[in-house]
Amino acid sequence: MSTVRVATFAGPGAGPRIETVRRPQVPDRAALIQIGACGVCGTDLHILKGHWPRPLPWPFTLGHELAGVIVEKGPGLEADFMGRPLAVGSKVMLPPLMPCGVCYYCVHYPAHANRCLNPTYYGRYLPFEKPPHLWGGWAEMVYVDLDMLPATKIYRLPDRMSLRVGSLAEPLTSCIRALNRAVSAGGFRTGDTVVIQGSGPIGALAVVAAREMGAGRVVVVGAPEQPRLALCRAFGAEATVSLETHTTPQARIDAVRQVVGGFGADLVVDCSGHPSAGPEGIEMLRDGGTYVEMGQFTDAGAVETNWHRICVKDITLLGSWAFTANDIPVAIDLLDRVRDRYPWHLMQQQFPFTEAGVAEAIQCALDMRCVKATIVPSEGIG
Ligand SMILES: [Zn+2]
């Protein structure tokens, strides 16, 4: 077979076209992978709706949740990213975004190498007309060449794993990482109650990840009942709240809080992609809970806010309300330690304890004529 069939799209809104392209030669550190299964991701749908925030090199082949079998490989490609041997017949997956390993982010912030400044992904193999052109798993084959794109990462799948299940490795990875982000923030512990907003593929896989990572209870908010909420329950969600029957944010908040009980959920993970999910989900949390935003990564529908930037920038956004009793001695110790190191008198303007003095202190603060208006009822006592 000297040709390969691939599905291409001319641009946003266009339907798929099955094109026939030349089967490439396979040099030393390259491989041709026959695709067994490739998922349709919400990202693909966004791209096809024109929501991708940067220009894309249309026409190209979508599909990044791929699993396949190596059908041809060069002798220099001996092992996968984890050092496991690769051979013709090996089952493999490829992620869509492969950090370069050498840019500032990859070197200095490896935990955020997903924000690599020079990632290898789709567009790097394009334009489509120029071989190698087989990138994107909605195709009979994809092609990889580690000499051309050294950041390419191949991951071997277990021989006994079906390629269909293997194609879930990429989206499940996103869910596991989101929960590990909560762990790293001290916001997800064994037995915790987790609410998942969104019952699409990411929401369903987040149910699995949450259960396997130790969640005590898992509740899903989403729609429609069939097939999505039913699947979430089959995957182990204790309860589901339907957007079809709970049509307002407050109705959903009330329903979730009734299921969860107590003070609210320990952890809420947004997998929904709905612009309003964030403010709604926060109200499902107990005070002191943790919220992870992984569902919103384009500004589609959220032009009035930059909430999606929480996800896109992979940031940790923390609330902090006042303090606890254990924090106060820390501040007292600090003030004592640095008592001579800062010009405190420049900060604190003193006012006498009279009606006029108190009024003037308030006005001075309101007018920003001082930094810290300070009323001194008993001057000279200490
Ligand atoms: Zn990088």
Q: In tens digits, what is the pLDDT along the chain, a chain of 382 residues?
A: 799 999 999 999 999 999 998 888 899 999 999 999 999 998 899 899 998 877 887 888 899 999 999 999 999 999 999 999 999 999 999 998 889 999 999 999 999 999 999 888 654 444 444 444 577 899 999 998 888 888 889 999 999 999 999 999 999 999 999 999 999 999 999 999 999 999 999 999 999 999 999 999 999 999 999 999 999 999 999 999 999 999 999 999 999 999 999 999 999 999 998 888 999 999 999 999 999 999 887 776 555 678 888 998 999 999 999 999 999 999 999 999 999 999 999 999 999 999 999 999 999 999 999 999 999 999 889 8
**Ligand 1 geometric centre to CA of 341 (Å):** 42
Q: How close is the Cα of 110 to the center of ligand 1, in Å?
A: 9
What does the pLDDT read at residue 147? 87
Return the domain boundaries, the chain.
3-167, 171-312, 328-376
φ/ψ (deg, to 5) at 259: -65, -50
Contact 119, 152 (CB under 8 A): no
Q: What spacing in Å lies between the alpha carbon of 94 and ligand 1's midpoint?
A: 17
Distance CA 152, CA 80 (A): 10
Question: Is the CATH number of domain 3-167 3.60.15.10?
Answer: no
**d(C-alpha 205, C-alpha 232), whole Å:** 9
As residues whose CB is below 5 A from the ion ligand 1, the structure lists 99-100, 103, 106, 116
Measure CA 316 to chain center: 11
Cα(81)–Cα(340) distance, integer angstroms: 56
User: How far does the centroid of ligand 1 lie from the alpha carbon of residue 309, in Å?
Assistant: 20
Residue 301 makes CB contacts below 8 A (sequence gap 6+) with 274, 275
Nearest to 263 by CA among 284, 283, 291, 286: 286
> 349 — phi, psi (to 5°)?
-95, 130
Distance between Cα 66 and ligand 1 center (Å): 22
Distance 113 CA to ligand 1 centre (A): 6
246 vs 373: CA distance, rounded Å: 50
CA 136 – ligand 1 centroid, Å: 21
DSSP 225: I
- 41 CA distance to ligand 1 middle (Å): 24
Spacing, Cα 313 to ligand 1 middle (Å): 15
CA of 112 to the centre of ligand 1 (A): 10
Strand partners, 145: 30
Ligand 1 center to 297 CA (angstroms): 20
User: Residue 340's pLDDT is what?
Assistant: 97
- Taking the C-alpha atoms of residue 74 and residue 91, their distance in angstroms, rounded to an integer, is 16
Q: How far is the CA of 115 from the centre of ligand 1 (A)?
A: 7
Q: How far apart are the first and last CA of the chain?
A: 92
pLDDT at 118: 87
CATH fold of 171-312 reads Rossmann fold (3.40.50)
299 CA to centre of ligand 1 in angstroms: 24
CA pair distance 117, 139, nearest whole angstrom: 28
| Amino acid 126: pLDDT | 42
What is the number of helices (H) and of strands (E) in the chain?
Answer: 12, 14
Alpha carbon distance 9, 58 (integer Å): 7
Cα(96) to centroid(ligand 1), Å: 14
Cα separation, 157 vs 160, whole angstroms: 8
CA 75 – ligand 1 centroid, Å: 27
Angle subtended by helix axes 201-212 and 169-184, to nearest 10: 50
Sign for the CA dihedral angle at 68, 178, 293, 286 comes to positive
CA 120 / ligand 1 centre spacing (Å):
9
| pLDDT of res. 123 | 41
What's residue 300's pLDDT?
67
> In 3-state terms, what secondary structure has residue 359?
helix
Whole-prediction pTM:
0.92
Q: In angstroms, what is the span from residue 259 Cα to ligand 1's centroid? A: 43
Cα-to-centroid distance, 108 and ligand 1 (Å)? 10
